[in-house]
């Protein structure tokens, strides 16, 4: 009888081990951006590479368009491990990793190329490592290009004086509201979903964002037809993984995921540049007037904001400024 039990046990183990070695793990990846958006497409590409490299053992399933919830709720699910990956803005990271807030300050980057050099280099890696080591239960995998944000208004803006009296929607962060106030306007904190109606009804006179978002949110169909290229905010976004899921991976799989995330970081910006060019052409065709301006007066006007919010990031700001 004992021999029979041993034989049965041995057969069960023999059958289970190969299956377990080839068990499939599917990582759910959240994004608030719609299907086809550069961040979504880059993660989808990453998933295909991961699938191929592990012969189907590890997969990524993308959930764009906030179908798994808005960002705050989705990140909480990532922290619990119910969602395994997410492309998120830095706003939810700042409370636990204050250093990332340095990227939220106006004109902290000279231009898009400067920002990319920073996130590709030691500063970018250091901040990813700080996210991973923080109590947030998130692993920083890589950065995504969110482009530069400029003004779109009902009246043309070429100088800070032109913003006087204009109510401009800003993201819900005192730093951003202070930025707009310093630039000459009246910063209004407002949820993104309320912007379209508020532009139509006159609750606000304008908003600010990158060209793809300006187009895909249909804000260009409102009376806000002037796009003044202030480039006042250049804020990268971050790709994170749940620490719960990360800790279940072998060291080799962790290294593979980080390698593919880096490739996604570089691939996403190519998709982003094409997206900006495409949407800029569509916006111009729809009657939007793009206004090239001298940004120095806006830079000078926001110096008090950098001093107020940047004092605690002084060393980090020096490192950023030194990047060529």
Q: pLDDT tens across 1-55, in order?
A: 443 444 333 333 333 333 334 589 999 999 998 899 999 999 999 999 999 999 9
Tell me the CB-side half-sphere exposure of residue 216, using CA atoms within 13 A: 17
Within this chain, do residues 154 and 222 fall inside the same structural domain, yes or no? yes
Do 203 and 315 share a structural domain? yes
225 or 93, greater pLDDT: 225
Q: Let me know whether 60 and 173 are in one domain.
A: no
Residues 79, 152: one domain? no
Using pLDDT thresholds of 50, 70 and 90, give the confidence band for residue 172.
confident
Same domain, 182 and 65: no
Q: What mean pLDDT do residues 137-155 have?
A: 97
| Least confident piece of the model among 56-65, 91-100, 155-164, 203-212 | 91-100
Indicate the DSSP class of residue 250: -
Domain housing 48 = 2-103+111-145+236-271
Lowest mean pLDDT among 64-78, 102-116, 278-292: 64-78
Domain match, 130 and 217 both: no
- Structural domains counted in the chain: 2
Number of H helices, E strands in the chain: 13, 11
In the block, tokens 């009902």 appear at 154
Same-domain pairing of 227 and 87? no
pLDDT of residue 22: 57
Question: Comparing 8-12, 224-228, 233-237, 308-312, which segment has the lowest mean pLDDT?
Answer: 8-12
Alpha helices in 219-293 (DSSP H): 243-246, 251-285
b or e along 88-98 (b: 16 or more beta carbons within 10 Å of the residue's beta carbon)? bbbbbbbeebe
191 shares a domain with 125: no
pLDDT band at 72 (very low <50, low <70, confident <90, very high): confident
Question: Is the predicted pLDDT of residue 117 greater than 60, yes or no?
Answer: yes
In this prediction, residue 95 has a pLDDT band, given cuts at 50, 70 and 90, of confident
Examine the domain organization and report whether 173 and 255 are in the same domain: no
Q: Which pTM value belongs to this model? A: 0.87
170 shares its domain with 291 = yes
Query: Long-range contacts: 74-82, Cβ < 8 Å, 24+?
Result: 74/30, 74/32, 75/138, 77/30, 78/30, 78/138, 78/240, 78/241, 78/242, 79/136, 79/137, 79/138, 79/242, 79/243, 80/242, 80/244, 81/242, 81/243, 81/244, 81/245
214 shares its domain with 176: yes
Q: Quote the pLDDT of residue 159.
A: 97
Quote the pLDDT of residue 20. 39
- pLDDT tens-digit map of 129-145: 999 999 999 999 999 99
Q: What is the CATH number of the domain that holds 267?
A: 3.40.190.170
Q: Are residues 115 and 54 in the same domain?
A: yes
Sort strands 237-242 and 85-88 into parallel, antiparallel or unpaired.
antiparallel
Q: DSSP label at 34?
A: P
Averaged confidence pLDDT in the chain: 92
């Amino acid at each position: 009888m004992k021999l029979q039990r041993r034989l049965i046990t041995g057969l069960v183990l023999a059958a289970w081990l190969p299956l377990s070695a080839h068990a499939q793990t599917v990582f759910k990846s959240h994004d608030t951006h719609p299907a086809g958006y550069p961040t979504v497409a880059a993660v989808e590409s990453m998933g295909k590479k991961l699938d191929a490299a592990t012969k189907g053992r590890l997969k990524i399933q993308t959930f764009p368009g906030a179908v798994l919830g808005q960002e705050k709720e989705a990140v909480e699910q990532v922290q619990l491990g119910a969602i395994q990956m997410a492309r998120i803005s830095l706003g939810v990271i700042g409370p636990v990793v204050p250093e990332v807030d340095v990227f939220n300050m106006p004109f902290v980057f000279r231009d898009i190329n400067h920002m990319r050099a920073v996130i590709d280099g030691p500063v970018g890696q250091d901040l990813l490592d700080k996210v991973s080591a923080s109590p947030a239960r998130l692993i920083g995998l890589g950065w995504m290009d969110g482009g530069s944000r400029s003004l779109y208004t009902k009246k043309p803006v070429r100088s800070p004086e032109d913003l006087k009296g204009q109510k401009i929607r800003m993201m819900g962060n005192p730093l951003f509201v202070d930025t707009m106030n310093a630039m000459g306007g009246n910063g209004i904190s407002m949820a993104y979903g309320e912007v379209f109606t508020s532009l139509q009804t006159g609750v606000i006179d304008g908003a600010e964002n990158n060209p793809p978002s300006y187009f895909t949110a249909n804000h260009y169909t409102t009376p806000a037809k002037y796009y003044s290229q202030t480039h006042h905010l250049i804020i990268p976004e971050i790709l994170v993984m749940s620490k719960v899921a990360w800790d279940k991976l072998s060291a080799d799989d962790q290294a593979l995921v980080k390698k593919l995330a880096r490739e996604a970081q570089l691939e996403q910006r190519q998709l982003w540049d094409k997206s900006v060019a495409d949407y800029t052409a569509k916006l111009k065709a729809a009657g939007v007037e793009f206004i090239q301006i001298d940004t120095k007066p806006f830079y000078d006007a926001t110096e008090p904001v950098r001093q107020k919010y940047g004092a605690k990031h002084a060393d980090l700001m020096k490192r950023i400024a030194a990047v060529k």
